[in-house]
Amino acid sequence: MKITNQVVEKHGLKTEEYSSIKKLLKREPNLLELGIFSAMWNEHCSYKSSRKHLKNLPTKGKQVIQGPGENAGVIDIGDDDAIVFKIESHNHPSYIEPYQGAATGVGGILRDVFTMGARPIALLNSIHFGSPDHFKTKSLLNGVVSGIGGYGNCIGIPTVAGETKFNSTYNENILVNAMAVGHAKKDKIFYSKAKGLNKSVVYVGSKTGRDGIHGASMASAEFDENSEEKKPTVQVGDPFTEKLLMEACLELMKDNSIISIQDMGAAGLTSSSVEMASKGELGIEIHLDKVPCREENMTPYEMMLSESQERMLIILEDGKEKHAKEIFKKWDLDFVVIGKTTDTNKLILKYNNIIEGEIPINALASKAPIYDRKWIKKKLTKSKVDIKKLKKIKIEDALIKILSSANHSNKKWITNQYDQMVMCDTAQKSGSDAAIIRIHGKEKAIAVSVDSSANYCKAHPITGGKQIVCENWRNLISVGARPIAITNCLNFGNPENPEIMGEFAECLLGIKESCEFLNYPVVSGNVSFYNGTNKKNISPTPVIGGIGLISKFKKPINHQFKKNNSTILLIGKTFGHLEQSVFLEEIYSISDGQPPEINLVNEKNNGENILEIIKNNLVNSVHDVSNGGLIITLAEMSMGSNCGVKINKPKKLTNLLKYFFGEDQSRYVLEVDKNNLGKVEKILKNNNIFYENIGSTQKDYFEIQGELKIDIKELYKINDRWYNNY
Amino acid sequence: MNSSVIVFPGSNCDRDIAIALEKMQFKNQMVWHKETKLPKSDLIVVPGGFSYGDYLRSGAIAGKSLIINEVIKAANDGCLVLGICNGFQILTETGLLKGVLLRNQNLKFINKDVNIKVINNDTKFSNKYKKDQVLKINIAHNEGNYFTNPNHLKELNNENLIAFRYCDENGVVNKDSNPNGSLENIAGIFNSKKNILGMMPHPERMVDNLISNTDGVNLFSSLLN
Average pLDDT over residues A300-307: 93
Q: Chain B contacts of A240, Cβ < 8 Å?
A: 9-10, 50, 52-55
Q: Band of the pLDDT at A10, cuts 50, 70, 90?
A: confident
| Alpha-carbon distance values, B195 to B22, B41, B43, B97 (Å) | 21, 13, 10, 11
Residue A421, chain B, CB below 8 Å: the answer is yes
The pLDDT tens digits of the residues spanning A604-622 come to 999 999 999 999 999 999 9
Q: Which of B54, B84, B104, B210 to mutate to test the interface with A (most CBs of A within 10 A)?
A: B210
Find the closest chain B residue to A421 by CA distance.
B205
What are the residue numbers of the active site of A?
44, 90
Mutation target among A110, A419, A429, A437 for the B interface, most CBs of B within 10 A:
A419
- Confirm or reject contact between B205 and chain A (CB < 8 A): yes
Cβ of A150 under 8 Å from any chain B Cβ? Answer: yes
Which among B109, B142, B211 has CB closest to A438? B211
Q: What's the pLDDT score for residue B17?
A: 98
- The CA distance from A244 to the nearest CA of chain B, in Å, is 7
* CB proximity list for A18: less than 8 A, separation 6 or greater: A8
* Residue of B65, B61, B52, B68 whose CA lies nearest to B11: B52
Shortest distance, CA B127 to any CA of chain A (angstroms): 25
Between A45 and A527, where is the model more confident? A527
pLDDT of res. A219: 58
A642 touches chain B (CB under 8 A): no
- Chain A window 320-339: which residues touch B at a Cβ cutoff of 8 Å? 331-332
Q: B110, B181, B108: which is closest to A143 by C-alpha?
A: B108
Task: Find, among B81, B79, B74, the residue nearest to B198 by Cα.
Answer: B81
Is residue A644 within 8 Å of residue A704, measured between CB atoms? no
Would the pLDDT of A221 be above 80?
no
Whether residue A540 is predicted with pLDDT greater than 70 in this model: the reply is: yes
Mean pLDDT across the stretch A282-293? 97
Give how far Cα B89 sits from Cα of B98, B118, B200, Å: 10, 20, 8
Q: Which residue among the candidates B13, B85, B143, B167 is catalytic per the annotation? A: B85
pLDDT range class, residue A689, cuts 50, 70, 90: very high
pLDDT one-digit tens code per residue, A560-580: 999 999 999 999 999 999 999
What's the whole-number mean pLDDT along residues A79-86?
98
- What pLDDT score does A405 carry? 97
Q: Are B136 and B215 in contact (CB under 8 A)?
A: yes
State mean pLDDT over A268-295: 95
A425 touches chain B (CB under 8 A): yes
Share of chain A above pLDDT 70, in %: 97
Nearest-Cα residue of chain A relative to residue B179:
A416
The 3-class secondary structure across A578-609, one letter per residue, is CCCCHHHHHHHCCCCCCCCCCCHHHHHHHHHH
* CB–CB contact A424 B112 (8 Å): no
pLDDT at B140 over 90: yes
Q: Cβ separation of A438 and B210 shorter than 8 Å? A: yes
Q: How far apart are the first and last CA of chain A?
A: 52
pLDDT confidence band for A206 (50 / 70 / 90): very high
Task: Please indicate if any CB of chain B lies within 8 Å of the CB of A177.
Answer: no
Which residues does A589 contact at the CB level (< 8 Å), separation at least 6? Answer: none
Q: Distance between alpha carbon A563 and the CA centroid of its chain, in Å?
A: 35
**Is A724 near chain B, with CB under 8 Å?**
no
**Residue A107: φ, ψ to 5°:** -60, -40
Q: Residue A226's pLDDT band (boundaries 50, 70, 90)?
A: low
B208 touches A: beta carbon within 8 Å: yes
The percentage of residues in chain A with a pLDDT greater than 90, rounded to a whole number, is 90
Return the pLDDT at A216. 58
What value does the mean pLDDT take over residues A466-471? 98
Phi, psi of A709 (to 5 degrees): -150, 110
B142: nearest CA in chain A? A417
Task: Supply the pTM of this predicted model.
Answer: 0.96
Distance from CA of A273 to the nearest CA of B (A): 29
**Contact predicate A607/A473, CB 8 Å:** yes
The reply to whether A7 touches chain B by the CB within 8 Å rule is no
What's the full length of chain B, in residues?
225
- The burial of B77, by beta-carbon neighbours within 10 Å (0-12 exposed, 13-18 middle, 19 or more buried), is given as exposed
Tens of pLDDT, residues A623-648: 999 999 999 999 999 998 989 999 99
Chain A partners of B211 at a C-beta cutoff of 8 Å? Answer: 421, 424-427, 438
> What range does the domain containing B198 cover?
2-224
Which residues pair with residue A624 across a beta bridge?
A668
Q: What is the mean pLDDT of chain B?
A: 97
Pairing of strands B186-190, B162-167: antiparallel
Contact B16 A417 (CB under 8 A): no
The pLDDT value recorded for residue A558 is 95
A38 neighbors A495 (Cβ within 8 angstroms): no
Of B54, B110, B211, the CB nearest to A416: B110
Using the Cβ of B13 and the Cβ atoms of chain A, whether some distance falls under 8 Å is answered with: yes
| pLDDT digits 0-9 by tens, A359-393 | 999 999 999 999 999 999 999 988 888 888 999 99
For the segment A204-216, the average pLDDT, to the nearest whole number, is 83
Note whether A146 contacts B: Cβ–Cβ < 8 A: yes
pLDDT at A278: 96
A429-442 pLDDT, tens digit each: 999 999 999 999 99
* Confidence band, pLDDT 50/70/90 cuts, at residue B225: confident
Q: Which CATH number fits the domain that encloses residue B126?
A: 3.40.50.880
What integer pLDDT is reported at residue A231 of this predicted model? 57
Instruction: Give the count of beta carbons closer than 10 Å to the beta carbon of residue B30.
Output: 16
ipTM: 0.97
Condensed to tens digits (0 to 9), the pLDDT of residues A229-255 reads 665 667 889 999 999 999 999 999 999
pLDDT of A20 over the 90 cut: yes
pLDDT at site A382: 83
Half-sphere exposure at residue B21, Cβ-oriented, CA atoms within 13 angstroms: 25
Distances (CA, A) of A516 to A67, A302, A540, A694: 15, 44, 21, 33
Number of domains in chain B: 1
**Which H or E element spans position A363?**
helix A361-364
Question: Hey, of A242, A330, A422, A439, which one would you mutate to test binding to chain B, going by the most B CBs within 10 A of its CB?
Answer: A422
CB A480 within 8 Å of CB A469: no
pLDDT of residue A236: 86
Q: Which helix (H) or strand (E) holds A112?
A: helix A98-114
- For chain A, the average pLDDT equals 94
Q: Given an 8 Å threshold on Cβ–Cβ distance, is A240 in contact with B13? A: no
**Does B178 have pLDDT greater than 60?**
yes
Asked if A654 contacts A574 with a C-beta cutoff of 8 angstroms, the reply is: no
